[in-house]
Amino acid sequence: MSTKNWPLWEVFVRSKNGLEHRHCGSLHAADEDMALENARDVYTRRSEGVSIWVVESKHITASNPENNGEMFEPAQDKVYRHPTFYDLPDEVKHM
Amino acid sequence: MKNENLYNYILGIADNSLILGQRLGELTGHGPSLETDIACTNISLDLFGQVRSYFQYAAKIAGDERTEDDIAMLRKEREYKNVLLVEQPNTNFAYTLGRQFLFDVYHLAFLKELQKSADLTLSAIANKCIKEVSYHERFSSDWVKRLGDGTEESRAKMQEAINDLWTYTDELFHQTEADKTMVAEGIGVDVTKLKEAYYKNVSDLLLESTLEVPESKYFQKGGKQGIHTEHLGYLLSDLQYMQRTYPNMEW
Amino acid sequence: MSEEQIKSLEKQFEARIARDEKIEPKDWMPEKYRKTHIRQMSQHAHSEIVGMLPEGNWITRAPSLRRKVALLAKVQDEAGHGLYLYSATETLGISREEMYEQLHTGKAKYSSIFNYPTITWADMGAIGWLVDGAAIINQVPLCNTSYGPYARAMIRVCKEESFHQRQGYEIMIKLANGTPEQKEMAQDALNRWWWPSLMMLGPTDAESIHTEQSMKWKLKRKSNDDLRQQFIDQTVPQAELIGLTIPDPDLKWNEERKSYDFGAIDWDEFWQVVKGHGPMNKVRMKARVDAWENGKWVRDAAMAHAEKKQERKEKQAV
C-alpha cells in the first residue's frame, strides 16, 4: 500500500481575462485533477480568478541565487535597450 | 395559507440542502487533509446559500411573520421533508462522499428540470444552484473513483458505504401529493422521470470506480412524509438548540 | 565553508534585511534564521488549524442561517490560512507532515488561547472580537517581515481576516442590544475571554526570549507589552460603546501616558496552559490527531489512485 504523501503543487491564477496568470501559492494534491479542484476551493473562494494553472512543484526549474551575478548583472549596463538612452529634441513631445 | 402546496413543495426541496449542509458542517476542522476540509466546507456553504434562497421565498409565500430561520429551525421532527439519504451520519469519509455522490447525481438532474419551472423564482434559484451542484457532482464523483479504485482498504470502505446507502436512493424518486399538484401546474419536477437516467449514471460511475452496483431491491422510504431515521432527531437538536433555548430573540 | 566565510555571509545577510530587502527560499540564510522561521511560521500555522476547533464547535448550533454561513466561512478561512502558512514554511525545507508530527507529539506549540472551551454562542462573538482583534495586531506588521513567502502569506491572511473581527463584534453588538439574558451572555463571554486574550500577546518583555533577534529579522516589530497596550487601548472603547464592562477593576485611563493602566495578569495560568494543562489542551490535540489518523486511508487511496492513473496513461502512450 502506498504511504507516500500528496505532492506539492504551485498554483497560478488569472484574475480576469486580459491579465497574466500569477503565482498565488501552493497546496498538496494527489493528482492534477485534485490539484485543480483544491486550487479552486483554496485560492478562488472570493472570486479571485477566471482561470487556474497548477504545476507540480518538482517540475519547476529555478535559477540559483548564487549565480545572480552572472545571470542578471550583465543586463544592468545595457542602457541602450531603454528609450531614455536616446536624445530627442525638446520639440518632439511624444515618441 | 393561499399557496400551501407551493410552500410545502419548496420546503421539500430545501430541506435536502439544509440537512446535508448541516451534516457537512459537522466535518469542518476534521477532514482528512486541509484541502479536502476546505472543499467540503465549500459544498456546505453552497447548500446553505440555496436553503436561504428557498426559505426566503417560502417565507414570502407564507405571507405572515415567519422568517427563513423560523422555517429552518422551528419545525418539529415530523415536519422536515428531506429524504432519508441526506440525514445519514458521517460514519467515515466513504459514507460522507458516497452520500454526497448519490445525492449530487439526483440533485443535478432535478435542478436541470426545475430550471424549466413555470414559477420564475424557482427557475431562477435553480439556474443559480445548478452551477454549484455541477461542481459538487464532479467533486464527489472524482472522490468515489479515487476511493473505489484506490487501495484495497479504500475500495472495501467505499463499497460498504455504497451498499449501506443504496437503500435510501429509491426514495429520491417518490412523488408526494405536493409534487403531483406542482407537476400538474408546470411548477414542479416529475421526479419519477429522473429515475432511469439516475441509476444508469450512478452505475456507470460505480463500475468505472471498480465498485459493484448493489443488487438489493429493498428500499427505505418515509423522509418525504416526515418519517425519518433515528439520526435526524439528534441533528435537529443541534440545529434548533439556540432557537429553542432562547425563543423570540434576534441574533 | 570556513567560519570566516560564514561570518561574512551572515554580515551581508543582516545588511540585506536592514536595507529592507526580502529573503527568498533559495537564498543563502543562516541556519538560525531558517530554524527560527520554521518554528514561528509552523506555530502560526498550527494556531490557525487548532483555532478552527473552538469555533467549529458551534457551526451546527449557530442561531440563524446568516450566522451559520458566516461562521462556516470564517472557520474555513482559518483552514485556508493554515494552508498558506504551512506552504510558506515548506519553502524552508520541512514538509507539512513533519510539522504535523511536531504538533501531534507536543513538540510544536500553538496559541494558548485555543485551549479554552467555547461554552455559549457569545463565545463566537468574543473570539472574533477579542482573539481575532489581538491576532490582527500581531499579524499586520508581519506583512512586512523579511522572509518573502511569510510576508506574502501574511498579506493574503490579513486581507481575508478583515471580516473576522467584524463578524465577532457584530455578534456581540446584537447580544448587547438584545434581551437581558443575551446581554448577560455577552458579558459572561467577555469576562472569560478578556484575560486569555491579553495573555495571547505573549509573556511580558522581561520574560520573553528571542525578542531581540526577532526584531532584527522583522519577525516582530513591537514588543509583547507594546502590542498588549495597543490592544487594550483599542478594545476598551469598543466595549464601552456596546455597554459591556471589561472585567478588570484596575483598568483606568492614564491621561499622562494617554493609555489605559490595567491590572495584573495571572501568568501562572498562562504558563499552565502553555505547558499543556489548560482546560482543553488534550481535547484539541485529540481532535487534530484523530482527523489526521482517520484520514490516512483516504490520503493513501488518493495517492494509489493517482499512481494507477499515471501508469495507465504511460501504457497508453507506449
Q: What is the pLDDT of residues B95-141, one digit of tens each?
A: 999 999 999 999 999 999 999 999 999 999 999 999 999 999 999 99
| Side-chain-side CA neighbours of residue A49 (13 Å) | 20
CA B58/CA B75 separation, integer angstroms: 14
Task: Give the best residue of A28, A33, A46, A72 to mutate against chain C (max C CB count within 10 A).
Answer: A28
Shortest distance between the Cα of A42 and any Cα of chain C, in A, equals: 6
E strand or H helix that includes residue C253: strand C252-254
A88 occurs within a structural domain: no
A1 occurs within a structural domain: no
Mean pLDDT of C111-122: 97
- What is the band of C258 on the pLDDT scale with cuts at 50, 70, 90? very high
Shortest distance between the Cα of A40 and any Cα of chain C, in A, equals: 12
Q: Is the pTM of this model over 0.90?
A: yes
C76 CB contacts (<8 Å, ≥6 apart)?
A45, B28, B37, B38, B41, B42, B45
State the CATH number of the domain containing residue A23: 3.10.20.520
What average pLDDT does the structure give for chain B?
A: 97
A93 occurs within a structural domain: no
Cβ-based contacts of C305 with chain A (< 8 Å): 30-31
A87 occurs within a structural domain: no
Cβ pair B29:C287 closer than 8 A = yes
pLDDT in tens, chain B (251 residues): 789 999 999 999 999 999 999 999 999 999 999 999 999 999 999 999 999 999 999 999 999 999 999 999 999 999 999 999 999 999 999 999 999 999 999 999 999 999 999 999 999 999 999 999 999 999 999 999 999 999 999 999 999 999 999 999 999 999 998 899 999 999 999 999 999 999 999 999 999 999 999 999 899 999 999 999 999 999 999 999 999 999 999 99
Amino acid identity for residue C62 in this structure: A
Q: What are the tens digits of pLDDT across the range C34-51?
A: 999 999 999 999 999 999
pLDDT of C212 reads 80
What CATH architecture applies to the domain B4-245? Up-down Bundle (1.20)
Shortest distance between the Cα of A71 and any Cα of chain C, in A, equals: 15
CA torsion sign for C143, C145, C151, C157 is negative
pLDDT of C224 reads 93
Shortest distance between the Cα of C248 and any Cα of chain A, in A, equals: 40
B244 neighbors C63 (Cβ within 8 angstroms): no
Q: What are the tens digits of pLDDT across the range A21-78?
A: 999 999 999 999 999 999 999 999 999 999 999 999 999 999 988 888 899 989 888 8
- What is the band of A3 on the pLDDT scale with cuts at 50, 70, 90? low
- What is the band of A2 on the pLDDT scale with cuts at 50, 70, 90? very low
**pLDDT higher than threshold 90 for residue C207:** no
**pLDDT higher than threshold 50 for residue A1:** no
Task: Give the best residue of A11, A41, A42, A57 to mutate against chain C (max C CB count within 10 A).
Answer: A42
- Spacing of C-alpha C285 from chain mean position: 16
Neighbours of C161 (CB within 10 A): 21
- What is the band of C210 on the pLDDT scale with cuts at 50, 70, 90? low
What is residue A12's three-state secondary structure?
A: strand
Shortest distance between the Cα of C173 and any Cα of chain A, in A, equals: 26
pLDDT of B110 reads 98
Chain B adjacent subunits, 3+ CB pairs under 8 A: A, C
A94 occurs within a structural domain: no
Of chain B residues 41-60, which have a CB less than 8 A from chain C? Answer: 41-42, 44-45, 48-49, 51-52, 55
Nearest CA in chain C to A67: C27
- What is the band of C318 on the pLDDT scale with cuts at 50, 70, 90? confident
Neighbours of C39 (CB within 10 A): 16
Cβ–Cβ contact B42 with A under 8 A = yes
Neighbours of C297 (CB within 10 A): 21
Cβ pair C302:A30 closer than 8 A = yes
In the numeric block, the cell 494553472 is attached to A53
Cβ-based contacts of B153 with chain C (< 8 Å): 297, 300-301
Q: What are the tens digits of pLDDT across the range C162-190?
A: 899 999 999 999 999 999 999 999 999 99
Cβ pair A31:C27 closer than 8 A = no
The domain total for chain A is 1
Mean pLDDT of C130-141: 94
Count residue pairs from B and C with Cβ separation < 8 A.
138
Shortest distance between the Cα of A6 and any Cα of chain B, in A, equals: 10
ipTM of the complex: 0.97
pLDDT of B158 reads 98
Cβ–Cβ contact A82 with C under 8 A = no
| Of the candidates B232, B228, B235, B199, the residue with the CA atom closest to the CA atom of residue B215 | B199
Chain A adjacent subunits, 3+ CB pairs under 8 A: B, C
Cβ pair B139:A34 closer than 8 A = no
A48 neighbors C10 (Cβ within 8 angstroms): no
A33 occurs within a structural domain: yes
Shortest distance between the Cα of A62 and any Cα of chain B, in A, equals: 26
Cβ pair B32:C296 closer than 8 A = yes
Cβ–Cβ contact C213 with A under 8 A = no
Distances (CA, A) of C103 to B79, C281, C286, C292: 45, 12, 11, 11
pLDDT of B28 reads 96
Cell readout for C144 is: 512586512
Chain C adjacent subunits, 3+ CB pairs under 8 A: A, B
Q: What are the tens digits of pLDDT across the range C61-112?
A: 999 999 999 999 999 999 999 999 999 999 999 999 999 999 999 999 999 9
Structural domain spans, chain B? 4-245
Going by the DSSP 8-state scheme, the letter that residue B248 receives in this structure is T
Cβ-based contacts of C182 with chain B (< 8 Å): 246, 249
Cβ pair B30:C300 closer than 8 A = no
Nearest CA in chain C to B69: C64
CA torsion sign for C30, A55, B144, B45 is positive
Cβ–Cβ contact A37 with C under 8 A = no
What average pLDDT does the structure give for chain C?
A: 95
